[in-house]
Structure 1
Amino acid sequence: MNESSTVTRRPKIALTGATGYIGHNLLEKLTDHADMIALSRNGSKHESTNDVEWRSCDFFSLEDAVQGLKDADYAIYLIHSMLPSAKLTQGTFEDMDVILAEHFARAAYQNGVKQIIYLSGIIPPHTTKDELSRHLRSRLEVEETLASFGVPVTTIRAGLIVGPEGSSFPILAKLVRRLPLMILPTWTRTKTHPIALSDVLEALTKCIGNERVFSQSVDVGGPDVMSYKEMMQRTADIMHKKRRFINVPFLTIKLSRLWVTLITGTPKEMAYPLIESLAHPMVAQNRHLVEGISEGEMTYEEAARTALEEEQRKIEAQKSRKQEKGYLPHPLKAMKRAMKADVRSVQRIHLPEGKDAQWAAGYYFNWLPSFAKPLIRTETQTNGVTRVYLLFSRRPLLELTYSRATSRPAHAIYRITGGSFAKAKEAHRGRLEFMQIPGTRECVVAIHEYMPSLPWFLYKYTQAKVHLWVMYAFHRHLLRLIRNNTVKYAKPVDQGPGIRKS
């Protein structure tokens, strides 16, 4: 780390994903050089030390994000949302990721963070954003969002990271271990630039406080450039397994997603986006190389052998724990079981020119009763409370209270404070948010930590489906307004005498 000599105290670094694959290894490495703020959704379960302060933080909440980054000099962003974050998650990982990035960037700005360090993937040259896979397109959007509030961002872009955990290398190792014969489509001949986990950690460490790489994207890679087929062959040699590979002259990404998921047991939410990205060459580019940071030292064989040995030690340790404590569930299954019965639903809409999230929220509550007429009516009071009613019912289905203290033109937040459809007392953090993606005319509409009152099975196949249908209809409606240039104006939520009914 390059810390100015005028600073006498150790720098304080906020690390997201501190319990994850990259995060827990980086935490161990950085505690020798800095005071750490270790951020995790379950940070309160960990005991703080002199060097590490654990904080519970859910970056889907802007308030949590601001508190989580409090007092940090630098912040490391290792968040990804491929796996579910609620008992029911509706929406794409791309939309989830942009919310997390916006909250993180805004919180970093409000706390005076000097630099954000972000671990991303190598972006192939001469490829437009529309041509990128969903995963790489999302990584690039996150990078742009993190930089949107003016805090310098240093992005470390890596190809396949070779380590005992994570995603890509364990998937490749499982394929080699389980399949004596592999039919290889054309994407397996795509070139990539593998890099050892230790070299990635070193690159991240060297960027912290290094003004030479402020507001830069830095490609990193090991000494070997090879195809995925070559990696499979070398991995088989390391495992001392004889494997036969048969090339086929066509690209079968969709079919590959399916068989990789079936063979390796990797959740499709993670496997599908990763496999789609393999069609792109991911080799470090000269224009993004930084001397002393970009060059990984460990060869693929050394990194793979180290990762496989570490994996074997963990398997043996897990077997020992099972013998001592009995059955231990799969980590993903255990995570799902521990989740409360909450809902996260995120959809993306387009805004008319000159409009913001505040406008979209007001317009939505005016549009909803006209769309669902005569079944639905709404009332908005001057105190910012909006109630949604069913037909002639006197009790609202939902009551939402506008949060003036935390909202702004680009981010409108409504607390779910009542209604027959919500367990408001159990879900005091339940909320509906309209968030404009910085620098764009796109807006994400998100329900967070909503606790439905309906029985779970009934809710999942009725109310949850209706919500998706309504949001799709609202999105289509806004597109028609944009196309026809017939935008109507909604009254601001905190204006107008008495009660406004729709």
Structure 2
Amino acid sequence: MASHSDQYCIDLPTAPATENKILVTGASGFIGGELIPELIARGYKLRIMVRSNVAMYRERWPSVEVVVADVLDYSQLKEALEGIDCAYYLIHSLHSASRFQELDALAARNFRQAAEENHLKRIIYLGSLGDPESQLSDHIRSRIKVAEELQKGNIPVTFLRAAVIIGSGSASYQIIHHLVRNCPVFLFPVWAKSKCQPIAIRDVIRYLVGCIENKETSGKVLDIGGQDILTYRDMIKIEAQIIRKKRLFLNSGFSAMSIYIRMINALTPVDHDLIKVLLESCTNDVLCLNTDIKNMIPYEPLSYREALVNALPIEPKGNPIHKKGNDVSQLGLQPQVLGPPHKSMGFISDIRYFLLHKPDEPTLVHFDSLAERENYTFRILQRLGVEVTTFKILNVHKIGINAPVKNVFEELLQWNGDSSCWPNHIAKVVNRNNRLENLSIYLFGWTKFIPLFKLSAITIKKIPDAVGADNARYLLYKCRGGYPIGIFSMYVRSSIADQNEKEQSQLFLVVGFNFYGKERWSNRNLINRMWEAIHDRVTLNVMNRFKQLCEWRFDKFKKG
């Protein structure tokens, strides 16, 4: 049984009904990933339904039965529901594609019919708040239609209706949080005055678990919300207070939804289609129309401020934050499956992926003193075979990669203008005849103009030294042009246990800054500092994306 130390439901005022065998659909999503550990901790017999990656879920939750099924495949669904007493229906398409309402309805119809054939006792469905009599967004209306489709059968359906869910892995929270982090000025449209009753993920899970344990909730439509009723403007301002960001908030008569969607897409890591779906829902008030559940499962939900504070340090138990480019389904979040970095689609994407985004894993090697920096510089330059008196100022980034040195270096040899790891719409890489000896970097991809800078290979070391214990390989270039770099190297070696390096390989990206002959570290002017700050953020993203690519590729190689 799971530990209760980090469980939401430890003091829930209901008793586990462990005689029921439960199916959780949407196990790969944010809500499912939070719900499953709670049900395990309370002793339930669980089966979870996923569409792929069975081994990963069995490793994550060894006590849980895992089945592969798609709600659009009736035969798979019927088999997945065999022997189940109660089921959580946590599936929704959040695409803005024209067919998503049709597919949502078909999925719900299949599920209802398969559940009836298997004689289920109950279905619990988590949908959206919204007054059915008002002009609702397509997204909210589709969720209501799903509930109506499930309710057409003879199995009691508990329909929980929630507004914005606040948790570290929810798409709504990520939009709010990253907007406040990245946007200094807010121009609020008229629809930002719509009212919302946000609810903490803790309280959503408590209600979901409480419903399975309280038969009085069976067959009911129950609204769930937090303590506060707020406008979307209020919600953003409170987040700014919590993370201590001074922001300018202005009202605006400008309400073009498409422009706001693009702006949010550029400033947050959330998918464009998901942003569109969620923003269109902001035009409606989403408030609890009944409070019946407070009498059935009596406890005090968190305030919005408390929910935000809890979201800051807590990582989702099941899944990572939803990222752009992944499939948007199952409440908008996907399992932590290795995959390649999503390729940038243009200049705005490059700005978002390489300048605005800040990955969790830092790469910049920090030095406490000039002497420490110079010593580190000396050892690296000496290892690379560079004249140590020529380039004294080094900027060093380092990241561990769970793949062999040989595989990592082979990825380095594929560096070109089509790489998903490089901001080619800001600074396009051109290698003539697919050779790495001479590279040109063009600003904004304008290849008809003079390059931003050129790289001429000093050494391309493909075979490690026979006497070298670190299996090192590297690309080393001399640079010239309008970018203040003297040398540039991408260097990979085996990890060293004595240095507490846990991954198989360590990748270094080394730059010898040469500010037009002004090499003294202490005398860098503002322009030079800006160059280095931009370089650091871009390099941080390049290396994290390269790590992701290498580990995904090596994982595929191991699986054949």
Give the share of equivalent positions with the same residue, in percent: 30
- After superposition, what is the alpha-carbon deviation per residue over 1:440-476, rounded to whole angstroms, capped at 9, x for unaligned? xxxxxxxxxxxxxxxxxxxxxxxxxxxxxxxxxxxxx
Say which of 28, 39, 61 aligns to 2:49: 39
Residue 310 of structure 1, CA deviation: 2.3
Structure-2 residue corresponding to 1:497:
none
Please name the residue that 1:285 is paired with. Answer: 289
Give the Cα–Cα distance (whole angstroms) in 1 for the partners of residues 266 and 154 of structure 2. Answer: 44
1:178 aligns with 2:182: yes
Equivalent residue in structure 1 for 2:311, among 307, 314, 319: 307
Amino acid paired to 1:62: Y
* Pairing 1:21-420 to 2, within 5 Å after superposition: 21-31=30-40, 32-42=42-52, 44-45=54-55, 46-47=57-58, 51-83=63-95, 91-124=98-131, 126-127=133-134, 131-249=135-253, 251-286=255-290, 289-293=293-297, 297-310=301-314, 323-325=400-402
Alignment length (residue pairs): 320
Task: Quote the Cα distance in structure 2 between the aligned partners of 1:54 and 1:97.
Answer: 23
- Closer, same or farther: CA 295–186 of 1 in aligned 2, 3 Å: farther
Stretch deviating more after TM superposition (234-243 or 201-210): 201-210
Does the CA contact (< 8 Å) of 2:238 and 2:305 recur in 1?
yes
Shift of 1:223: 1.1
**Alpha-carbon RMSD:** 3.2
Find the residue that maps to 1:309 and give its secondary structure: coil
Give me the whole-angstrom Cα distance separating, in 2, the residues matched to 1:152 and 1:105: 11
Which consecutive unaligned segments of at least 5 residues does structure 1 have?
85-89, 334-502
Please report how far the alpha carbon of residue 188 of structure 1 lies from its aligned counterpart in structure 2 after TM superposition: 1.2
Deviation at 1:176, TM superposition (A): 0.7
Secondary structure in 1 aligned to 2:115?
helix
Alignment deviations for residues 120-178 of structure 1 (CA, whole Å, 9 cap, x no partner): 11122642xxx210001100000011112221110111111000112111111111111
Closer, same or farther: CA 108–52 of 1 in aligned 2, 3 Å: same
SS at match of 2:312: helix
1:246 partner SS = strand
Q: Closer, same or farther in 2 for the Cα pair 1:296/1:17, shift >3 Å?
A: farther
**1:13 partnered with 2:28:** no
| Aligned counterparts of 1:169 and 1:13: Cα–Cα separation in 2 | 29
Q: Could you tell me how far 1:248 is from its partner in structure 2?
A: 1.5
Taking a change above 3 Å as real, the CA distance of residues 312 and 98 of structure 1, as seen in their structure-2 partners, is closer
When residues 222 and 294 of structure 1 are mapped into structure 2, their CA distance, relative to the original with a 3 A threshold, is: farther
Code of the aligned partner of 2:114: A
Displacement of 1:271 after TM fit?
1.3
Q: CA deviation at 1:10?
A: 3.0
- Cα distance, 1:195 vs. partner? 0.8
**Cα deviation 1:16-38 (Å, max 9, x = unaligned):** 11121110110000012311101
Distance in 1 (alpha carbons) for counterparts of 2:141 and 2:168: 26
Code of the aligned partner of 1:323: G
Cα distance change of structure 1 residues 182 and 50 upon mapping to structure 2, 3 Å threshold: closer
| Contact 2:214 2:296 survives alignment (8 Å) | no
Q: Distance in 1 between matches of 2:73 and 2:158?
A: 24
Change (3 A) 1:322 1:170: farther
State the AA in 1 paired with 2:400.
Q
Task: Name the amino acid aligned to 2:258.
Answer: K
* C-alpha distance in structure 1 between counterparts of 2:213 and 2:315, whole Å: 33
SS in structure 2 at match of 1:286: coil
Paired AA for residue 204 in structure 1: L
Distance 1:43 1:15 in 2: 16
* Structure 2 letter corresponding to 1:119: L
User: 1:12 and 1:317, CA in 2 relative to 1: closer, same or farther beyond 3 A?
Assistant: farther
1:416-431 equivalences in 2 (<5 Å): none
Matched residue type, 2:22: I
The structure having more radius of gyration, on CA atoms, is 2
TM-score normalized with structure 1 length: 0.58
Cα deviation for residue 268 of structure 1 reads 2.2
CA distance in 1, matches of 2:14, 2:316: 38
Q: Is the 8 A contact 1:183 1:246 kept in 2?
A: yes
Contact 2:186/2:249 (CA < 8 Å) preserved in 1?
yes
- The Cα shift of 1:283 comes to 1.1
**How many angstroms apart in 1 are the aligned matches of 2:13 and 2:22?**
13
Name the SS for the 2:295 alignment partner.
coil
Distance 1:171 1:16, change over 3 A: same
Shift of 1:304: 0.6
Residue type of the partner of 1:22? I
Cα gap change, 1:299 to 1:78, in 2 (>3 Å): same
Decide whether aligned partners of structure 1 residues 264 and 29 sit closer, same or farther in structure 2, where only a CA change above 3 A counts: same
Aligned positions of 1:446-485 closer than 5 A: none
